[in-house]
Structure 1
């Protein structure tokens, strides 16, 4: 969900509206306005100039779902107000829960909750929507049905461009995870080889000078190989759309180094 186009496409698919240009999606955004408060971690948090969207994916039953949506809504509002904003500039907000299990007796594919009284809106511009993934096949909108089926099962019976793009991106991420695992394993293997070389060098003290030269050459070569591996990892993470800050955390490269790699693409 860090790809802006995919993220915008998902939200448009869920809501049936155009969201326009969005800011960079934030994954696992934490809101804890005060030290003593019970904070909240939002799965996917997205904004544009007028609206904020929170998308939550729940694979296990959610206790007190209604109260959780209420709390998430309040924390999003507080987050905006602590930035010095008055009430009247609070953005329109959508809290969207995609759930495999819902607590409601009446089985629907989508539940929409608004604050109204006898047809009169409270005017708070907040919307809570729950998508029941178990009932995705009952959804009448084919594009929404395809997306809900994919989120619920990892597959979809519909031919849908957005779902196919998401599936392709997920596969790239999986392959990149495998590459990182193999890269870590390679580093451990190289470390073992280096340790063995050092032990051998100590045992053969009569050739200390020659062994030190070999060890230095080995260290230099291994360091170069590790650096090339790190750069390869960084290029792969740039390709799949991770942010520069996330890439620096994963690889240990500086922000300037990652920026230079991105500019070369």
Structure 2
């Protein structure tokens, strides 16, 4: 067991050293810096914001005990009460409607969270749900155009320029898209996600914040503890799989328990499909088929 713990710590340390802005853990830490988070929102929306606040350190929303809860990566509001949820997304799901339907659920949960019983619907806030993707989320859809930015609002089908006015907006950024229709700072940020050197004051500031975070000993311990907990959860899943399996089918039970836990981690955005497939000892294609 001590040898396994030592190996886990070594793996956790290696993972920590390889973290980039595309990792949820680092992204959340960097975006806690208000000036960077504010500037990112301004670059995405081409607007100016006077100030932003973080209503909660970590935003978890659960409406009912038996409902699916959501944990929002970066949840902020501006001085006018507009809410922004920013999510870093590195997992390209097998089904093309996974992310659009996830934004639908997030929107519903955010609305129910802010509207108290008996209040008028006019009290609902203007909201922006922003997914920053390390892939084109619409590549497998006929309408996907390889853009760096996709913006969706409720419009009238018969009159496309007529907005319904519910004040909800869903935005998908694509780090692999064409750098057209976006400003220089946002293009440089997407290039940085792709592993290119930071260009410009804004992206250089983000890169500095990433390095500062990785030099923070408390964050390092936090991440390594988190990483090792994932390993324990996987081991627990394998053990449960063995218990559930028939005596003659323990190997199958072991494998099933393991990939069920891995699917949960992928769905929660903790690890990528590529990482999960590697841990499961199978190809990405095979893992996607199991996950469907």
TM-score norm. by structure 1 comes to 0.62
Please point out which of 123, 127, 137 is paired with 1:89: 123
In the other structure, the counterpart of 1:12 is 42
C-alpha contact (below 8 Å) 2:146/2:178 kept by paired residues:
no
TM-score norm. by structure 2 comes to 0.56
Counterpart CA distance in 2 for 1:147 and 1:31 is 29
In the other structure, the counterpart of 1:57 is 88
Give 1:123 shift: 0.7
Helix, strand or coil: the match of 2:216? helix
Change (3 A) 1:179 1:33: closer
Give 1:148 shift: 1.4
In the other structure, the counterpart of 1:114 is 153
Cα deviations by residue, 1:90-129 (Å, 9 ceiling, x for unpaired): 1110000111121333211111111011121111000001
Looking at secondary structure, tell me which structure has more helix per residue: 1
Cα deviations by residue, 1:150-197 (Å, 9 ceiling, x for unpaired): 2332633x3x1111111111111111138965xx9xxxxxxxxxxxxx
Give the aligned length: 180
Change (3 A) 1:40 1:87: same
Helix, strand or coil: the match of 1:128? strand
In the other structure, the counterpart of 2:282 is none
In the other structure, the counterpart of 1:163 is 203
Please point out which of 44, 47, 52 is paired with 2:74: 44
Change (3 A) 1:179 1:69: closer
In the other structure, the counterpart of 2:3 is none
Helix, strand or coil: the match of 1:120? coil
Say which is worse superposed, 115-124 or 139-148, in terms of deviation: 139-148
In the other structure, the counterpart of 1:34 is 64
Give 1:140 shift: 4.7
Larger gyration radius, structure 1 or structure 2: 1
Aligned pairs (5 A) from 1:134-173:
134-135=176-177, 137-138=179-180, 140-153=182-195, 155-156=197-198, 158=199, 160-173=200-213
In the other structure, the counterpart of 1:103 is 138
Give 1:86 shift: 2.4
Say what the alpha-carbon RMSD is for the aligned residues.
Answer: 2.3
In the other structure, the counterpart of 1:124 is 166
Change (3 A) 1:7 1:111: same
Cα deviations by residue, 1:42-68 (Å, 9 ceiling, x for unpaired): 110001233000001111214511111
Structure 1 gap segments, 5+ residues each: 185-265
Ranked by relative contact order (alpha carbons within 8 Å, sequence separation 6 or more), the top structure is 2
Counterpart CA distance in 2 for 1:126 and 1:139 is 21
Aligned pairs (5 A) from 1:251-262:
none
Helix, strand or coil: the match of 1:45? strand
